[in-house]
Chains A and B, each alone.
Chain A
């Protein structure tokens, strides 16, 4: 385990980091997420796939899907490429562990500080994503993932529970802008609920 002498900071500084409830919706920055990307090389074999599945504890996610194991979760990001998410407290060295587990058939990159993970909760989040993004959120159900744009920012949208619980991964440098965009969409959707 590494020895740190500097304090880690989240993408959003207080008070922006506090969970933001708007009507029935809430936006929270998840600061305790370890992220790594896995890209298959030409030498990727069936054994590599099995080692990968064994590491995450479930089958490798299919196209446009994400899966959750006991410790790790993973989602498909491109042909032959996946993202793996875990707890930062217990799996800080996720990228190294993945590389050790799968071997030379893949390239693994640590993504911990590249992405910020937001959690969106609330009843009827579909109306929020209707405002934010161009994908068909109404055909989206638990376990679906899409890479798309929100306010010109590239991001991953993960559906953890149909219309009620989503996670949003966006480049860390866009965290404030994305938070602002989501909160505005919350306000628009919450205002309509009152009508």
Chain B
């Protein structure tokens, strides 16, 4: 597989390591009332879609950046890749502004 790195262009998947579902970016609030249940979900429960899936990849043998790669788990077609730091920043901005 070739992963289209947003900064470095097409790179071989061999250079990356896979972490898992991109929902891992949504770490629950540890001070919330339901933190136990939220962390149980966060840690153990995953969707396992046959189709388009957003997942975290680490460019270990490259620039060491975390990417969110959108991949079709049936065809292995890579539909896009973005820097996880940009996605996380957008998410926190939306949370702060309540959008």
Complex: chain A residue closest to B14, CB-CB: A134
Pair B7/A147 contact, Cβ less than 8 Å: no
**Assembled-state Cα–Cα distance A13/B55 (Å):** 45
Q: Measuring CB to CB, which residues of chain B are less than 8 angstroms from any residue of chain A?
A: 7-8, 12, 14-15, 60-65, 83, 85
Number of A-B contacts (CB under 8 A): 29
Q: What does DSSP make chain A's interface, helix, strand, loop or mixed?
A: strand
Residues of B within 8 A of A149 (CB): 14-15, 61
What would be 5 A-B contacts, judged by CB atoms less than 8 Å apart? A63-B8, A64-B8, A78-B64, A146-B8, A154-B60
Question: DSSP class of B's interface residues: helix, strand, loop or mixed?
Answer: loop
Given contact pairs A77-B63, A79-B65, A148-B61, enumerate 18 new A-B contacts (beta carbons under 8 Å): A63-B7, A64-B7, A64-B8, A78-B64, A79-B7, A79-B63, A79-B83, A134-B14, A134-B15, A146-B8, A146-B62, A147-B62, A147-B63, A148-B15, A148-B62, A149-B61, A154-B60, A154-B61
> In chain A between 20 and 76, which residues have their CB closer than 8 angstroms to a CB of chain B?
63-64
Closest 9 CB pairs of A and B: A78-B63, A149-B61, A134-B12, A78-B64, A63-B7, A147-B62, A154-B61, A79-B65, A64-B8
Q: Which chain A positions have C-beta within 8 A of B14?
A: 134, 149
- The smallest beta-carbon distance between B1 and chain A, in angstroms, is 13
- CB-CB contacts of A135-163 with B at 8 A, as 1s and 0s? 00000000000111100001000000000
- How close is B15's CB to chain A, nearest CB, in angstroms? 7
Chain B residue nearest to A76 (CB atoms) is: B63
Specify which chain B residues have a CB less than 8 angstroms from the CB of A79 in the assembled complex: 7, 63, 65, 83, 85
Given the complex of chains A and B, what is the CA–CA distance between A136 and B61 in angstroms?
Answer: 15
User: Chain A residues near B60 (CB, 8 Å)?
Assistant: 154
State the Cβ distance, B6 to closest chain A Cβ, in Å: 10
